[in-house]
Amino acid sequence: GRQKLNMAASTIPGEFILPAYLPGFLEEYPSVRADLKIQESDRLLDRVDEGELRWGVTGGRREESTLEYTPLFVDRMMLVAAQEHARPGQPVTYGDFRDLRYVGRGPRSGTRRAVVERFESAGFSPDEFLNPVARVGTVQAVREVLLNGLGVGFLPASVVSEDLETGRLIELPTEFPSIKRTFYGVENRFIGTPPVVDRFLDYLGEVLPEEGTIHE
């Protein structure tokens, strides 16, 4: 009989990472059908917590007794811009963000949270230094705005690898350590995952690079 691989994922894993691995898996298991929903982290975790969803992938974590996380992918956030915003020589510092035309994501986005935490941990107030000239709702929208030359922004390596290869976007070196995000498989520890999910996890284990790091 047909088996259904039901899963949900937040934006980055759902739109940019999992779709790269699904085709190979479905080829290996022709009787499986996949259903991948894109959801905000909070909603996804609620659904796993309530037992309504058996498995999801997200960068968000909540320490709830029901939720169990398995690190799957590590994605590096890159500071990128269109060619005309290239800055010769000097790496970008925290302080530079005061004057940069910065394109950001909404306050609930995991990407935004990761960037804010990096600034706060270095003692720079995000309100003062990360004052976006534009705030846009999705990763894809940030990418489009940057491609059209608005300014600089942080985008995950998994999203911009092709743009960097073609030279449509360039990575700006920063003086501070790179911002990495881990994406986790999440399940309800009291319910567990169905066999078809375990099979998909085994498959990911075989095809993912060491440590699951995507595009160093």
* pLDDT tens, the chain, 216 aa long: 689 999 999 989 999 899 999 999 999 999 999 999 999 888 999 999 999 999 999 998 888 999 999 999 999 999 999 987 777 778 999 999 998 999 998 877 888 888 999 999 999 999 899 889 999 988 899 999 999 999 999 999 989 989 999 999 999 999 999 899 999 999 999 999 999 999 999 999 898 876 555 544
What lies within 8 Å, CB to CB, of 130 at 6+ separation is 97, 102, 104, 115, 116, 119
Residue 88 is encoded by which pair of tokens?
Answer: 């010769």
H or E element in which residue 12 lies: helix 11-12
- Could you count the other beta carbons within 10 Å of the beta carbon of residue 81? 23
CA distance 147 to 127: 25
109 secondary structure, DSSP code: -
The pLDDT value given to residue 33: 97
Predicted model pTM? 0.83
